[in-house]
Amino acid sequence: MKNIGVIGAGTMGSGIAQVAATSGCQVKLFDTNKEALSKSKEALEKVLLRLIDKGRITPEEKTRIQANITYVNTLKDLSDSQLTIEAIVEDLSVKKTVFAELETFVSQDCIIASNTSSLSIASIASSLKDPSRCIGIHFFNPAPLMKLVEVIPAIQTSNSVLEETVKTIADWGKTVAVAKDTPGFIVNRVARPFYGEALRIYEEGIADFATIDWSMKTIGDFRMGPFELMDFIGNDINYAVTESVFSAFYYDPRYKPAFTQKRFAEAGFLGRKSGKGYYDYSENATKPSPIEDHNLGREIVDRIVIMLINEAADALFLNIASAEDIDNAMVKGVNYPKGLLELADEIGIDRCVFKMDELYDEYHEDRYRCSPLLRKMNTENHTFY
Ligand code: NAI
């Protein structure tokens, strides 16, 4: 596919345009806001200069990538697109209006995709006369750096549209994970306990932020601790995602947001971007020291990891994606040290079931219910791989 239209020249749209242009596609990047277009162009100039400095691209490649992107200010300019990817505000009615208008300009076989993180693809597709051409293509931020892209067919999407989309995104050098059109898709669903269980451990007074982060990094081998990561993402954003997943799952207690994070967001302690979150980012701030107790650390890691494994197993149980795609998604999308289902095999399914039942016995909360798949696999002596 050569001609790509990108709608919305913000953080994600600009990154997606860069990815497609780098792969040799002709990209038209559209935004209603002219300033957004000029900012996007300036940002790309800076990014590409940095890539030259690092020796990743040559000055000729920079010129070629830039020449592959045309900045346009009418939707009609996207009329020769073979694939359009929308990355505008996360608002269903705005997206539906744009999709319906776009369909009047593009050819019959143009694929119309959305980069939404939280809206259902089926609902977006329903705005089109031909919903079978609609699909979710969910990039991660920053799009040029993050390897993973979730591809989400809606129940209306045709098989040929799914196949063509997967091929195109793989040609752009990305790892594709195909996910069912359910809240959070793969990553934003399976990753919830990384934050939620860490917050719960803190709320129970078992350990402080620094100790939980130290445990997950030093003992669990995760690249960032949950609190560092929430500060990096922004507590407002991370809280909003959790709340949206929680309500989309009809208030399943497994996804219940934590008051701690709500209060941090309300107080404006958003993390790095506001200078203060779980940690203080001001110039002379001293970083709090963790309690480097290996027994406590192991307990913390075991509890968070078992909840992640349980979530991954349940996603497989409900056919959200294949085991390979679930594992790939967490490794390539959020840099987990290992696939969660692979880890479950290593730990032993019997041990996973035992740990979940132990948590359930302690709390009697539905949040700690063991996935029926783990239990069945244990009874039948199966492993994931
Ligand atoms: P952003 O706020 O940086 O950019 C949105 C852009 O869309 C703005 O430049 C705005 O002028 C433009 N826009 C708004 N309405 C428009 C319209 N009707 N027609 C054309 N342009 C319009 O937003 P961001 O962060 O890039 O997010 C865009 C989409 O990507 C959202 O659906 C979001 O959920 C999704 N997403 C965001 C991620 C992130 O980490 N920021 C990650 C993955 C998905």
Look at residue 172 in the predicted model and tell me its pLDDT: 98
45-76 exposure pattern, b = at least 16 Cβ within 10 A, e = fewer: eebbeebeeeeebeeeebeebeebbebbeebe
Average pLDDT of 86-90?
95
CATH number at residue 221: 1.10.1040.50
Whether residues 223 and 342 fall in one domain: yes
d(CA 78, CA 296): 56
Look at residue 328 in the predicted model and tell me its pLDDT: 96
Q: Say which residues have a Cβ less than 8 Å from residue 212's Cβ, sequence separation at least 6.
A: 198, 201, 202, 225, 226, 227, 300
**How many domains is the chain built from?**
2
Whether residues 272 and 138 fall in one domain: no
Identify the band that residue 7 occupies on the pLDDT scale cut at 50, 70 and 90: very high
Separation in Å, CA 14 to CA 77, 123, 198, 239, 249: 17, 25, 33, 25, 31
Whether residues 162 and 196 fall in one domain: no
Residue 384 lies in a domain: no
Whether residues 170 and 199 fall in one domain: no
Look at residue 42 in the predicted model and tell me its pLDDT: 97
Query: pLDDT tens digits for 213-272?
Result: 999 999 999 999 999 999 999 999 999 999 999 999 999 999 999 999 999 999 999 999
Look at residue 34 in the predicted model and tell me its pLDDT: 96
Q: Say which residues have a Cβ less than 8 Å from residue 37's Cβ, sequence separation at least 6.
A: 9, 29, 31, 71, 73
Burial of 234 (0-12, 13-18, 19+ CB in 10 A): middle
- The protein residue whose alpha carbon is closest to atom 1 in ligand 1 is 10
Separation in Å, CA 65 to CA 20, 36, 209, 252: 9, 19, 43, 46
Query: pLDDT tens digits for 114-144?
Result: 999 989 999 999 999 999 999 999 999 899 9
**Single residue among 156, 178, 200 that ends a domain in this structure:** 178
Look at residue 168 in the predicted model and tell me its pLDDT: 98
CATH number at residue 158: 3.40.50.720
d(CA 199, CA 294): 20
**Single residue among 125, 150, 178 that ends a domain in this structure:** 178
DSSP-assigned beta bridge partners for residue 152: 136
Query: Any idea which residues carry the catalytic annotation?
Result: 117, 138, 150, 188
C-alpha closest to that of 191 among 65, 52, 304: 304
Look at residue 278 in the predicted model and tell me its pLDDT: 98
Test site for ligand 1: of 12, 92, 98, 241, most ligand atoms within 8 A of the Cβ: 12
Q: What is the mean pLDDT of the chain?
A: 97
**Single residue among 178, 203, 225 that ends a domain in this structure:** 178
**Tokens of residue 179, six digits:** 């996910």
Whether residues 268 and 306 fall in one domain: yes
Whether residues 230 and 105 fall in one domain: no
Look at residue 352 in the predicted model and tell me its pLDDT: 98
**In contact, 338 and 376? CB cutoff 8 Å:** no
What angle in degrees, to the nearest 10, is found between the helix axes of 34-53 and 59-67? 160
Which atom, in ligand 1's list, is nearest to the CA of 116? 32
Whether residues 210 and 237 fall in one domain: yes
d(CA 349, CA 310): 10
Whether residues 369 and 280 fall in one domain: yes
Residue 16 Cβ contacting ligand 1 at under 6 Å: no
Residue 260 Cβ contacting ligand 1 at under 6 Å: no
Whether residues 166 and 259 fall in one domain: no
Whether residues 103 and 214 fall in one domain: no
Whether residues 216 and 357 fall in one domain: yes
Residue 115 Cβ contacting ligand 1 at under 6 Å: yes
Identify the band that residue 313 occupies on the pLDDT scale cut at 50, 70 and 90: very high
Q: Which domain holds residue 319?
A: 189-379
Residue 183 lies in a domain: no
Name the residue type at position 136.
G
d(CA 86, CA 112): 8
Residue 315 lies in a domain: yes
Test site for ligand 1: of 6, 11, 76, most ligand atoms within 8 A of the Cβ: 11
Query: pLDDT tens digits for 275-298?
Result: 999 999 999 999 999 999 999 999
Average pLDDT of 76-96?
96
Whether residues 203 and 101 fall in one domain: no
Look at residue 374 in the predicted model and tell me its pLDDT: 98
Average pLDDT of 77-86?
98
